[in-house]
């Protein structure tokens, strides 16, 4: 499934 | 977290703190484009919509709060502070926000990773950040003289995004399926916009003369 791409960058 | 990203975040943090300190100590915003500062406040607002919903790390949340707080306080100083506002050169700082905001918004609606409000807002913030420095570069060319704090501010802003490009290259090779081509393109465009400024900045630094941008 489309993994929720975590926005871990500022 | 890798060294490139940490160095990029620290450079970015340093750039906004340099600017805030400059405005706070000498109570002047001469040479600073309010338009660019307002665009940055908009960039951080639309980028950090998830600050209270998605907790990544303490570092991430603290840095987001610092960037939001510093960008809005810089705008407040230039707009509201009774002494600082007198040094704002509104006749020269005439770049129209919407010339940048509207195209970025349209582009974000059509080119994004996923058509959701948060994702479109996040993509918009990336496109806007790439061009937000333009009013400042236009102002620097108009006023022709650049005091070295403003020069350092613009240089640090450009350097932070260049370090982020190294971070993206590093993550591309070390993390499987780390693909954010929109981020990469926006980041490269942003860094290229600084390229000519970098060239003149280094020239002036090397020849140890005042930084002059060609008209």
Judged by CB atoms closer than 8 Å, whether chains meet at A10 and B180 is answered as no
**pLDDT above 80: residue B130:** yes
Closest partner residue to B5 (CB to CB) among A5, A7, A9 is A9
pLDDT single digits (tens) B18-45: 999 999 999 999 999 999 999 999 999 9
Q: Is residue B42 part of a domain?
A: yes
Best CA proximity match to B137, nearest among B100, B83, B84:
B100
Termini Cα distance of chain A:
25
> Which of B56, B161, B175 is the best substitution to test chain A (most A C-beta atoms within 10 A)?
B56
In a domain, B164, yes or no: yes
Write the ipTM.
0.83
Residue B125, domain extent: 3-206
Total tally of structural domains belonging to chain B? 1
Convert the pLDDT of each residue in B72-118 to its tens digit: 999 999 999 999 999 999 999 999 999 999 999 999 999 999 999 99
In a domain, B215, yes or no: no
Top pLDDT among B154 and B147 is at B154
Nearest CB among B63, B114, B180 relative to A10 is that of B63
CA distance linking residue B27 with residue B47, whole number of Å: 29
Q: Tell me whether residue B213 is in a domain.
A: no
Between B33 and B204, name the one with better pLDDT: B33
Buried-exposed string B94-131: b where 16+ CB fall within 10 A, e elsewhere: ebeeeebbeebbebbeeebbeeeeebbbbbbbbbbbbb
- Band (pLDDT 50/70/90 cuts) for residue B207 is confident
For helices B181-206 and B117-131, give the axis angle rounded to 10 degrees.
Answer: 20
Q: What is the pLDDT of residue A1?
A: 39
- Chain B neighbors of A6, CB-CB under 8 A: 54, 56
Beta bridge partners of B145: B212
pLDDT tens per residue, range B36-83: 999 999 999 999 999 999 999 999 999 999 999 999 999 999 999 999
Is B65 part of any domain? yes
The reply to whether B214 falls in a domain is no
| pLDDT of B206 | 84
Q: Please name the residue of chain A whose CA is at the shortest distance from the CA of residue B66.
A: A10
Query: Taking phi first (over 0 means left), then psi (-120 to 50 degrees means alpha), and beta for anything else, what does residue B144 get?
Result: left
Percent of chain B at pLDDT exceeding 70: 99
In a domain, B132, yes or no: yes
Q: Is the pLDDT confidence value at A3 over 60? A: no
Reference B9, options B47, B62, B49; nearest CA is B62
Residue B49: inside a domain: yes
Mutate to test the interface with B, among A4, A6, A9 (most CBs of B within 10 A): A9
């Amino acid at each position: 499934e489309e993994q929720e791409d975590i926005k871990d960058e500022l | 977290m890798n060294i490139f990203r940490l160095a990029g975040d620290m450079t970015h943090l340093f750039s906004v703190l340099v600017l805030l300190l400059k405005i706070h100590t000498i109570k002047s915003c001469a040479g600073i484009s309010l338009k660019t500062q307002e665009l940055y406040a908009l960039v951080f607002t639309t980028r950090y919509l998830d600050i209270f919903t998605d907790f990544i790390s303490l570092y991430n949340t603290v840095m987001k709060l610092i960037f939001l707080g510093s960008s809005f306080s810089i705008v407040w100083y230039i707009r509201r502070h009774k002494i600082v506002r007198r040094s704002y050169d509104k006749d020269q700082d005439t770049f129209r926000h919407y010339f940048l905001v509207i195209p970025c918004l349209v582009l974000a609606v059509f080119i994004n990773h996923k058509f959701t409000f948060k994702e479109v807002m996040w993509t918009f913030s990336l496109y806007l950040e790439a061009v937000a420095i333009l009013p400042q570069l236009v102002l620097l060319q108009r006023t022709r003289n650049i005091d070295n704090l403003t020069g350092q501010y613009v240089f640090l802003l450009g350097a932070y995004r260049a370090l982020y490009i190294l971070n993206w290259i590093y993550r591309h090779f070390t993390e499987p399926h780390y693909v954010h081509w929109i981020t990469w393109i926006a980041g490269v465009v942003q860094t290229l916009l600084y390229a000519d400024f970098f060239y003149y900045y280094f020239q002036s630094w090397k020849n140890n003369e005042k930084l002059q941008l060609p008209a």
